[in-house]
Amino acid sequence: MTKLFLLIGLPGSGKSTLAKQLMAQCPQMQLISTDAIRGQLFSSEATQGPWLLIWREVKREFQQAVAADKTTIFDATNAQRRQRREVIALAREAGFRQIIGLWVKTPVWLCLARNQKRERQVPPKIIWRMYRQLRDAPPSFEEGIDDLICFPDKRGYGNCTRVVSGNHT
């Protein structure tokens, strides 16, 4: 059964760190990252570029992952409900049978502090906007996910594969 882990969280919440830890523990997984796609398409992860081009590449990579029967991690903020529903619909269309939301619920103040230390910073007003979007429309089963796992930052990730167990690899 082809599975997709849908990362959800603010910039600086630790989504990419979680993805790296999962990949280190389960190297047979595939990572699809909108930042990496931006880097491929526009030579810079900071360049937002036309969303349609990014979306086409996400679709292509989803299809390849399903064809290879690879459990996949999708690393993007996915802060807007509409955006999450579109990604979930695309994933189902591509053939993913199980979609698990991994919500990295890091306090906004910590995300802002981490953002300040980054080379590629997200404007604070964007982080606050995404915070309000997630607060007002948090991830839910009504969006089409099969399971939702929350990662409060204060406890750390520990053994990621155990936390997301159910043999998702």
pLDDT bin (cut points 50, 70, 90) of residue 169 is: very low
Q: Is residue 112 part of a domain?
A: yes
**Residue 135 lies in domain:** 3-162
Q: Is residue 167 part of a domain?
A: no
Q: What mean pLDDT comes out for the span 86-95?
A: 97
Q: What is the pLDDT of residue 96?
A: 98
Cα 2 from Cα 169, distance rounded (Å): 9
CA dist 11 → 77, 128, 169 (Å): 7, 10, 26
Q: What is the pLDDT of residue 47?
A: 63
Domains identified in the chain, total number: 1
Instruction: Locate the DSSP E strands across 38-135.
Output: 72-75, 98-105
Q: What is the pLDDT of residue 48?
A: 72
Q: Is residue 113 part of a domain?
A: yes
What stretch of H or E contains 31?
strand 30-33
Q: Is residue 168 part of a domain?
A: no
Q: Is residue 66 part of a domain?
A: yes
Q: Is residue 169 part of a domain?
A: no
Q: What is the pLDDT of residue 46?
A: 64
Q: What is the pLDDT of residue 44?
A: 64
Q: What is the pLDDT of residue 20?
A: 93
Q: What mean pLDDT comes out for the span 37-62?
A: 83
Q: What is the average pLDDT score of the chain?
A: 88
* CATH code of the domain containing 35: 3.40.50.300
Q: What mean pLDDT comes out for the span 61-90?
A: 96
Q: Is residue 79 part of a domain?
A: yes
Q: Is residue 154 part of a domain?
A: yes
